[in-house]
Amino acid sequence: MQEKVKDGPSSEFQVVGTRPVRPDGADKVTGRAKFGADFSLPGQLVGKVLRSPHPHARIKSIDASAALKLPGVKAVVCRDDFLEQSSEFIPAGEMMINYRDVVRNVMAREKALYEGHAVAAVAATSAVIAKEALNLIKVDYEVLPHVIDVVEAMRPGAPLLHEDMFTAGVEPAPKAPSNVAKRLEIGHGDMAAGFKQADVVVERAFTTKPVHQGYIEPHACIASVSEDGQADVWVSTQGHWVVRAHCARLLGWDIGKVRVTAAEIGGGFGGKTVVYLEPIALALSKKARRPVKMVMTREEVFKASGPTSGAHVRVKIGARQDGRIVAAEAELKYQAGAFAGSPVQPGAMCAYAPYDIENVKVVGYDVVTNRPKVAAYRAPGGPISEFAVESVIDEIAGRIGMDPIELRLKNAAKQGTKAAYGPKFGPIGMVETLEAAKAHAHWRTPLGKHQGRGVASGFWFNIGGETSVSLSLNEDGTLSLTAGTPDIGGLRASLCMMAAEELGVPLDKIRVQIGDTGQLGYNFLTGGSRSTFSSGMATVEAARDVMKEACKRASKLWELPEDAVEYSNGGVRPAGPNAGKHAPMTLKEIAGIAGKTGGPIVGYARINAAGAAPSLATHIADVEVDPETGKVSVIRYTAIQDAGRAIHPSYVEGQYQGGVAQGIGWALNEEYIYGDDGKLQNPGFLDYRVPVASDLPMIDTVIVEVPNPRHPYGVRGVGETPIVPPMAAIANAVADATGVRFTDLPMSPPRVLKALDEARAKGTAKL
């Protein structure tokens, strides 16, 4: 297959593929841009949350009378202020959530299920008074035994979080409740027959710890409810229509009464696709009749907003000596936190997705524990399962003496491959990224002392979803584009570029904004790597709508049939046999005649974007290991990924680099550290160790383009795949450097040194 490595703008486009400065850029480099905590309203109150100090406790009573008497306290809310919800699963990004659990996570009802679980909240005239008021709320807890480890939680007799949790997906249904919310199984073929054909079988067990999305901006919102029940919320969120829906549901209000404006968002990575403070702020504001502003502290972010799962994963792969994988199995036990809904399903779907395997079976368990409820984190579930699979594939390559890229090429999924989770792939770039890795100078550069190199691939499917866009042609020929998927990292630039490409107008004639929920039809959230794909698709449709309308108006003026006018070069002209009969009109001139030819010209798109296509990646990592301290340094990194079509290459590269940095942190140093008391010991950036600038090298990127035929520009979502390969790439590199295979993350220095010393004692260490 011809390699399609992007090394410059494509000749077929004017704007797409170039690197203009983003339209929201000036505000962001001058401090003018308003994030969630930057809004203030006259008369606003400060809202604060009272949180459970216990990891597991029944809440027998809540007495806020003393708090209400404190001067300056204007409202207190607790479980009674939110509606009971029946069980109903709905999509949220790429996860499923249940409202019965959502209302309980926002405000504890029968039980506090993790340290940090919200139990009550106050609104007061100052932060000092609000804090004092929290101390006056008396909560009667009956402390219960807790369980925070996923294997412990699965044991019979483990402390039970939900008395009505009977494992779904098991036949016959269990008679006794447990902490296992569900069991799932996917795959095809005959496992026993498959493994019989193998010359080499490798089976390994892996563990990963919960890690947090780590956005630098804590959750923040301001809510204002007026006497007639109209409610406004300004919040930094990945999905303001979702916020609207959740708040309306939890409070029992009409959706149309609630208007949500998306502030600029300081990072989300999936963690801001759910609600925490918003329903509370609204409930407080309604009671207090004043706006209520709520901002989480960093400690609250760690203790009470979703990390992703920690997990136990077992992988077994069989291959023939010629490199063909004949059978592959995995068992995933993912921790969901206090309520069901770990990303074990997507984790299972992704595990073997980069490969064409005849016999494959993945079993997954969703297990609850007394920890904060997990939320989506960039390719939810994928990095965990693919870390395990890519590590075992590396080991198999070693055992049969084959280059690890060659082994992957021999088994790569292609167009027409049936994935373990069911569908047949359209065109995908797995082979292309592997070939690009093989050809890259990084793969050939000699290594130094104590250094090792690892390669790993990764897959994420990406989603489409409901999207609405509005594109107005202004009276002077400029355009106003309103989209509804919050811009978390450069979307407005890409939308502007796609509109400019379609319409043939200069970029600076288009002003793009993210509209509030009152200004557009429904928009599903920014997640699943969907915003450039879906809002882009909608933008193109809206632009074509404008172009069509422009032709129609000119046809009226020129008294020609509608289809006798064509759009070209930023304007309209007569087509076919009528060509040349009238001078072309620019879009600006069309705008001038809009009123008298029928009214304002506005393009709309309201779609459920379909045709999202997977993005495949292959990464190469070099590490250096200090043999005396076990410290692992990443000294070189190359991320190669298929973008379909890179609208704005700088922002595509940025996604690759950002995902890599998070993956490196996950591999080396990030973890939630709990004591036996079930309390989090590192709820801050001092001891929750994300990579800092001096920890990382430059992160080289290669954009491969295997266009997605179902998008007008060939776009594939790219945001999530980059976080998938790094953990295995690093683990494989460390194995190369040390001779020791690490199956437990993070590979922090004490663990590495301990394993090195054990290997040295056995004579298997390379350094």
Partner 1 sequence: MRYEAPSSLEQAVGLLAAATGDARVLAGGTDLLVQMRTDILNPELVVDIKHIPELREVKEEAGGFRIGAAVTGAELKEHPRLKSVWPGIVEAANLIGSTQIQGRATMGGNLCNGSPAADSVPALIAAGAKASVVGSHGRREIAVEDVMLAPRKLALAKGEIIASFLLPAKVKGSADAYLRFIPRTEMDIAVVGCGIALTVDANGAVSRARVALGAVAARPLLVEEAARALLGSKLEDAALNKLDAAAGAACKPIDDKRGTKEYRIKVAGVLARRAAAIAYERARKA
Partner 2 sequence: MAKHHITATVNGDPVEFLCEPQETLLDALRDQLHLTGTKEGCSTGDCGACSVTVDDRLVCSCLMLGVEADGKSISTIEGMAQGDELHPLQQKFLEHAALQCGICTPGFLVAAKALLDKKPDPTETEVRYWLAGNLCRCTGYDKIVRAVLDAAAELRGA
Q: Which is nearer to partner 1, 440 or 631 (CB)?
A: 631
Rule CB under 8 A: choose which of 176, 192, 686, 761 binds partner 2. Answer: 686
Q: Which does 750 bind (CB under 5 to 8 A by kind): partner 1, partner 2, none?
A: partner 1
Nearer to partner 1, 441 or 693 (CB): 693
Give the side-chain half-sphere CA count within 13 A for 91: 13
Quote the least distance from Cβ 649 to partner 2, whole Å. 9
Question: Cα 88 to the chain's mean position, in Å?
Answer: 22
**Contacting residues for 570 by C-beta, under 8 A, at least 6 apart:** 503, 504, 505, 586, 587
**Member of 2, 87, 569, 694 binding partner 2 (CB under 8 A):** 694
Which listed option, partner 2, partner 1, none, makes contact with residue 381 (CB within 5 to 8 Å by class)? none
Could you tell me the smallest distance in angstroms from the CB atom of residue 748 to partner 1? 6
Work out how close the CB of 664 gets to partner 1 at its nearest, in angstroms, rounded to a whole number.
11
- Closest to partner 2 by CB, 156 or 448: 448
Least distance from partner 2 to the Cβ atom of residue 56, Å: 28
Pairing between β-strand 479-483 and β-strand 510-514 as defined by DSSP bridges: parallel
Q: Return the one option of partner 2, partner 1, none that residue 491 interacts with (CB less than 5 to 8 A, by type).
A: none
At position 326, the amino acid (one-letter code) is V
Strand 360-368 with 180-188, pairing: antiparallel
Q: Which region among 130-138, 244-252, 542-550, 686-694 touches partner 2 (by CB under 8 A)?
A: 686-694
Contact 363, 314 (CB under 8 A): no
Q: Which of 2, 8, 29, 559 binds partner 2 (CB under 8 A)?
A: 29
**Shortest gap between Cβ of 238 and partner 2 (angstroms)?**
11
Judged by CB under 8 A, the number of residues near partner 2 is: 56
**CA gap 732, 241 in Å, rounded:** 42
- The footprint of partner 2 on residues 283-342 (CB under 8 A) is 295, 297-298
Closest separation in Å from C-beta 19 to partner 2: 7
Please say which residue, 30 or 86, places its beta carbon nearer to partner 2. Answer: 30
Whole-number minimum distance, CB 692 to partner 1, in Å?
5
Give the rounded distance of the alpha carbon of 750 from its chain centre.
31
Q: Applying CB under 8 A, which of residues 307, 347, 454, 658 lies at the interface with partner 2?
A: 658
Instruction: Single out the residue of 661, 728, 737, 747 in contact with partner 2 (rule: CB under 8 A).
Output: 661
State the nearest-atom distance from the C-beta of 651 to partner 2, in Å.
6
CB of 136 to partner 1, least distance (A): 16
Among 237, 285, 526, 662, binds partner 2 (CB under 8 A): 662
State whether the Cα torsion 749-750-751-753 is positive or negative: positive
What is residue 337's three-state secondary structure? strand
**Which one of partner 1, partner 2, none interacts with residue 376, CB within 5 to 8 A by kind?**
none
Q: Is there binding between residue 33 and partner 2 (CB under 8 A)?
A: yes
Contact indicator for 374, 148 with CB cutoff of 8 Å: no
Among 85, 474, 480, 657, which residue interacts with partner 2 (rule: CB under 8 A)?
A: 657
Report the run of H or E that residue 194 belongs to, with start and end.
Answer: helix 191-196
Q: Which of residues 613-652 bind partner 2 (CB under 8 A)?
A: 648, 650-651
List 169's β-bridge partners, or say none: none
x/- letters, 238..277, toward partner 2 (CB under 8 A): --------------------------xxxxxx--------
Cα 642 to Cα 759: distance, rounded to the nearest angstrom:
38
Sign of the alpha-carbon dihedral angle for 385, 389, 390, 391 = positive
Given partner 2, partner 1, none, residue 629, with its beta carbon under 5 to 8 Å by kind, binds partner 1
Question: Smallest distance, Å, CB 522 to partner 2?
Answer: 24
Q: How many helices (H) and strands (E) does the chain have?
A: 20, 28
Longest dimension (CA), the chain: 91
669 binds, among partner 2, partner 1, none (CB under 5 to 8 A by kind): partner 1
Q: How far is the CB of 173 from partner 2 (least distance, A)?
A: 42
Q: With 0-12 CB in 10 A as exposed, 13-18 as middle and 19+ as buried, what is 87?
A: exposed
Q: Please, what is the minimum distance in Å from the beta carbon of residue 127 to partner 2? A: 9
What are the tokens at 561?
């049939």
CB of residue 626 vs partner 1: minimum separation in angstroms? 9
Closest CA to 279 of 120, 111, 103, 112: 103
| Single-letter code of the amino acid located at 490 | G
List the x/- string, 200-229, binding to partner 2 by CB under 8 A: -------------xxxxxx-----------
- Annotate 543-581 with b (16+ C-beta within 10 A) or e (fewer): bbbbbebbbbbbbebbebeeebbbbeebbbbbeeebeee
CA neighbor of 645 nearest in space, from 715, 546, 720: 715
Tokens 């594109």 belong to residue = 471
Contact 708, 611 (CB under 8 A): yes
What is the per-residue burial (b if ≥16 Cβ within 10 Å, else e) of 366-392?
A: bbbbbbbbbbbbbbbbbbbbbbbbbbb
Which of partner 1, partner 2, none interacts with 294 (beta carbon under 5 to 8 A by kind)? none
Residue (268 or 337) nearer to partner 2, CB: 268
Helix-helix angle 99-106:240-251, to 10 degrees: 90
Question: Smaller CB distance to partner 2: residue 569 or 694?
Answer: 694
| The binder of partner 2 chosen from 144, 168, 593, 690 (CB under 8 A) | 690
Q: Among partner 1, partner 2, none, what does residue 218 contact (CB within 5–8 Å per kind)?
A: partner 2
Distances from the Cα of 129 to the Cα of 49, 69, 218, 714, angstroms: 13, 12, 21, 55
Neighbours of 504 (CB within 10 A): 17
The answer to whether 238 touches 526, Cβ cutoff 8 Å, is yes
CA distance readout (Å), 300 to 117, 277, 662: 10, 11, 21
Q: Are 208 and 745 in contact (CB under 8 A)?
A: yes
- From the list 621, 622, 623, 625, the residue with the least C-alpha distance to 749 is 625
Half-sphere exposure of 379 (CA within 13 A, CB side): 34
Q: d(Cα 23, Cα 7) in Å, to the nearest integer?
A: 24
Q: How far is CA 741 from the centre of its chain?
A: 29
Residue indicated by tokens 């696709």: 273
What does 35 interact with, of partner 2, partner 1, none (CB < 5 to 8 A by kind)? partner 2
175 backbone dihedrals φ, ψ, rounded to 5°: -85, -25
Binding residues among 489-528 for partner 2 as defined by CB under 8 A: 489-490
Binding stretches for partner 1 (CB under 8 A): 299, 628-629, 631, 633, 668-669, 673, 681-682, 686-687, 689, 691-692, 694-695, 748-750, 753-754
Q: How far is the CB of 672 from partner 1 (least distance, A)?
A: 10
Taking the complex as a whole, how short is the minimal distance between the CB of residue 686 and partner 2, in angstroms? 5
| Residue 653 CB, nearest approach to partner 2 (Å) | 8
User: Would you say 394 or 671 has its CB closer to partner 2?
Assistant: 671
Residues 9-28 that bind partner 2 (CB under 8 A): 19, 21-22, 25-26, 28
Contact set for partner 2, span 110-169 (CB under 8 A): 128
Q: How far is the CB of 609 from partner 1 (least distance, A)?
A: 40
Contact between 684 and partner 2 by CB under 8 A: the answer reads yes
194 touches, from partner 2, partner 1, none (C-beta below 5 to 8 Å by class): none
Measured from the CB atom, is 131 or 196 closer to partner 1? 131
Question: What does the binding site for partner 2 look like in residue numbers (CB under 8 A)?
Answer: 19, 21-22, 25-26, 28-35, 37-38, 128, 213-218, 264-269, 295, 297-298, 488-490, 648, 650-651, 653-655, 657-658, 660-662, 684-686, 690-694, 696, 698-699
